[in-house]
Structure 1
Amino acid sequence: MTIASQNQDKSVYLRRNLWSGILVGLGFVAFFDETVFHQLLHWHHFYDKSTTDLGLVSDGLFHAFSWFATIGGFFLLADLRRRNMWSVKRWWGGVLLGGGGFQLYDGIIQHKIMRIHQIRYVEHVMLYDIVWNLAAIAMIVAGAALIKADTYEPSSA
């Protein structure tokens, strides 16, 4: 195997580790948002600009999306582990990057620009928005740091 071929293989597995983590992180944060803020606390629905019935349908679609992303990410992870090409740091970096990226998208695009829902319908919503978006930024920074620190030493597990 040539050096160019080895580098190409390495590049493929670096991307797969990252995408697997991103999908799992995105799916987990979306699942957590749906379960805690939509179902348990009843703070909002995915789409609040219509009837409660439509809000519940939108929650169901959002929930399905979160699980498809999670399952897809775990299928990629299973393949990486089968090939002994799982890079734990890069994968966890991807999880944090995907989760934080989704949360920041939700907080800025869906909450403020599209206004399809607010995190909570209270007088001082800005406090909730700040905490939500700062948590997202912290996850993105931590994920990027893990990815940068990765030396690509696949786990043998």
Structure 2
Amino acid sequence: MSRETRTPPAKAARSAARAPAFLFGMGVGGFVDGIVLHQLLQWHHMLSHTESGSSKTVPGLELNTLADGLFHSAMWVLVVAAAALAVRARQQGRLSPSWRFHTGLVLAGWGVFNIIEGLVNHQLLQIHHVRDDLGGPLAWDLGFLAVSVLLAVGGWLLFRGSQMSGKIGAPDAG
């Protein structure tokens, strides 16, 4: 008995890899949140709205430093995973050359990360808010979510506006 090996017909255009840019955007979004809001502006820390994580005590600051470090480590893993997926996509000929494709997905990933982080950490768990020190943390949290939605939608529109939003081998206007 002979076994017949079938090779699927080659597609005219291959699907471009979306995950690398999207995951990179999520990681960058986390880095910007952690570096800018946690460290530079010091508006909040990962656990600053919890009883044991008060940033007014040394043990609270120590706990928040650890939590912020774990958060940054998770963001680092996302960025490294994005890089590994980009290398794999390049080897498979599935890495789009379009800047709109990648920039759009990076912005969309950043926005989606912020939406998840804002809903889970700020609203559901309430382990921190964008600003606790000025009063009215809900207004700051809603503003953060609004900017996040704009990032996600704007990024998705930029990605979809790319003629290469789904296929490799198609012409690209930019």
Q: Which residue of 1 aligns with 2:136?
A: 124
Summarize the Cα distance change of 1:154–1:92 in structure 2 as closer, same or farther, 3 Å threshold. Answer: farther
Q: Which residue of 1 aligns with 2:157?
A: 145
Counterpart-to-counterpart distance in 1, 2:43 and 2:93: 43
Q: Is the 8 A contact 2:14 2:168 kept in 1?
A: no
Deviation of 1:77 after TM superposition, in Å, equals 1.9
- Flag the structure with larger Rg: 2
SS of structure 2 residue aligned to 1:6: coil
Q: Is the 8 A contact 1:97 1:140 kept in 2?
A: yes
Deviation of 1:102 after TM superposition, in Å, equals 0.7
Identity of aligned residues (%): 27
Structure 1 gap segments, 5+ residues each: none
SS of structure 1 residue aligned to 2:74: helix
Q: Does 1:72 align with 2:76?
A: no
Count matched residues. Answer: 149
Opposite residue 124 of structure 2, the aligned amino acid is I
Counterpart-to-counterpart distance in 1, 2:160 and 2:42: 38
Tell me the alpha carbon deviations over residues 62-114 of structure 1, each in whole angstroms, 9 at most, x when there is no partner: 01111111121122223334454322333222211211001111122210111
Structure 2 gap segments, 5+ residues each: 1-6, 53-59, 170-174
Q: Which residue of 1 aligns with 2:14?
A: 10
* Structure with the largest fraction of helix: 1
SS of structure 1 residue aligned to 2:11: helix
Q: Is the 8 A contact 1:111 1:118 kept in 2?
A: yes
1:45-124 alignment to 2 at 5 Å?
Answer: 45-48=45-48, 49=50, 50=52, 51-87=60-96, 88=98, 89-121=100-132, 122-124=134-136
SS of structure 2 residue aligned to 1:118: coil
Deviation of 1:149 after TM superposition, in Å, equals 2.5
Counterpart-to-counterpart distance in 2, 1:154 and 1:143: 20
Deviation of 1:45 after TM superposition, in Å, equals 1.2
Tell me the alpha carbon deviations over residues 20-64 of structure 1, each in whole angstroms, 9 at most, x when there is no partner: 011100110100111111111221111222222211111000011
Counterpart-to-counterpart distance in 2, 1:10 and 1:90: 15
Q: Is the 8 A contact 1:25 1:99 kept in 2?
A: yes
